[in-house]
Each structure stands twice: as C-alpha cells, then as structure tokens.
Amino acid sequence: MTKLSVNINKIATLRNSRGGDLPNVVQFAKDVQRFGAQGVTIHPRPDERHIRYQDAYDLKSEVYTEYNIEGNPVKKFMDMVLELKPTQVTLVPDAENAITSNAGWDTVKHKDYLMDVIKEFKDHGIRTSIFVDPELKQIEGAKATGTDRIELYTEAFAHQFGLGNKSAIKPYTACAELANSLGLGVNAGHDLSLDNIAYFKQHVPELLEVSIGHALISESLYLGIENVIQMYLQKLS
C-alpha cells in the first residue's frame, strides 16, 4: 500500500490568518494520524507564512508515524532538520517569492551541491528525497547525488488529467520504472486529489508515498477530514 502523508501547511495558514492558535496544528497532526494517515508533512518557508519553524519543533514529539519536512536546504532549514532528525527530509528548490512549489531540482546542474547536502543528512540517519520533474535525465541525476528517494512533481499530471488527458501519466510511469531500476524509492506530490489519485497510483509502479495537502484540506471542508483520509486510504490500497 502507498503511504499517505498529510501536508498540514494549510492548517497553519488558516491559523495565521487570525493571529491566534485556532486551528491548532499540533492537534490537527495528532488527529490525522488517529484517523489513519501514515505520515505528517510540513514545509516551512523562510517567511514562515504558514508553518513556522517553532511548529516543526512542537510537532516532533507528536508525530509517531512518519515525519516529513520539506524545504530548500538553506542554513536555517538544515540546522533545524539536523536537530529534529525527522523520518525524511524532502529537498525542494523553492524560490522565496513563489506562492507554492513550482519546479523540481535540476539534479544534473546542482549535483555537487545536492551531494553535499544529502551526505550531511544521511550521516545523521535522515532519509532523503529530492523533488524532481518527471524527466528521465533528472532521475538519473538524482541517483548520482546519493539520495534515497525522489518525489515526482505531479502538477502537470493533475492539470492534464483534469482536462481529460490521461496520457499525461506516461512520463511519470517511465520515471518511476527508471527510479525503481536504479534502486531509488518513489514518492509523489502536488495537486494530487481524490479525483486523480487512484489513476496515478495504478500507473506508477512501486509508489511508496504521496504527500497531499491543499486538495485534501479543501475536500475536507465539504466531506470532513476523517472521512477524506479514509477515502484516500481506500484509493491507495
């Protein structure tokens, strides 16, 4: 079964909009695990516009499933991850002015930099994953960095699938097959939803984990968080 990691950034965004502590991100993380999620994902950004660095520390003792911290490995981020030692760190090349993640790493161009960062994390026993576009050369480049896994950036698939273009899955299938042959684990995330997750899962071999936040939280506004998590788990089984 593919694991479901719930990205709780949107809960922090809602909390921050009023300046208080409602909803409480730690309680929400505890609840999604109780409802069946097999992981919790956070993505702190330098401006802390949703998840704050303090949230990462507060969550450490409460995430008893898999704790996945995403972000651009600037010094502050690296220091935090090395101190917290989450289950997994996912490296994302965020531009500071980006609303959300909008591209994967160029693993060929940034090979040496990624190798150094990944070695540091792996020396501390932290599983590493690199956010990548669905291009075969990027998968080969990721292998050369020493990473444990890749996370396929799925926005292009989600957009095309919504337009009825199911052939958009083909590069993801090919990349997953290559990654598997190279000994890389395969994760995926960005704009996956109840509408497209089953099709994606069926066509991406050995998919280990999906990280879903925006769609899952949006769907939960209508259907309820516990119900939505169960719906995802059913589609991923």
Residue 23 tokens read as: 């909803």
Contact 130, 154 (CB under 8 A): no
The Cα 13–Cα 88 span in angstroms is 23
What's the rounded Cα separation, in Å, for the pair 20 and 167?
A: 45
70 is an active site residue: yes
d(CA 164, CA 181): 30
Alpha helices in the chain (DSSP H): 9-16, 25-34, 53-60, 75-84, 111-123, 136-145, 155-162, 170-182, 197-203, 214-223, 225-236
203 catalytic per annotation: no
Per the annotation, the verdict on 43 as an active-site residue is yes
Tell me the HSE value of 133 on the side-chain side, using a 13 A CA sphere. 12
Point out the catalytic residue in the list 50, 190, 209, 219.
Answer: 190
Distances (CA, A) of 75 to 58, 71, 78: 20, 11, 5
Q: Which two tokens stand for residue 204?
A: 């991406």
Residues 84-103 as b or e (16 or more Cβ within 10 Å = b) = bebbbbbbbbbeeeeeebee
Cα 152 → chain centroid: 9
Choose, from 43, 50, 151, 219, the residue flagged as catalytic.
43
Of 70, 151, 209, 219, which residue is the catalytic one? 70
* Residues with a known catalytic role: 43, 70, 190
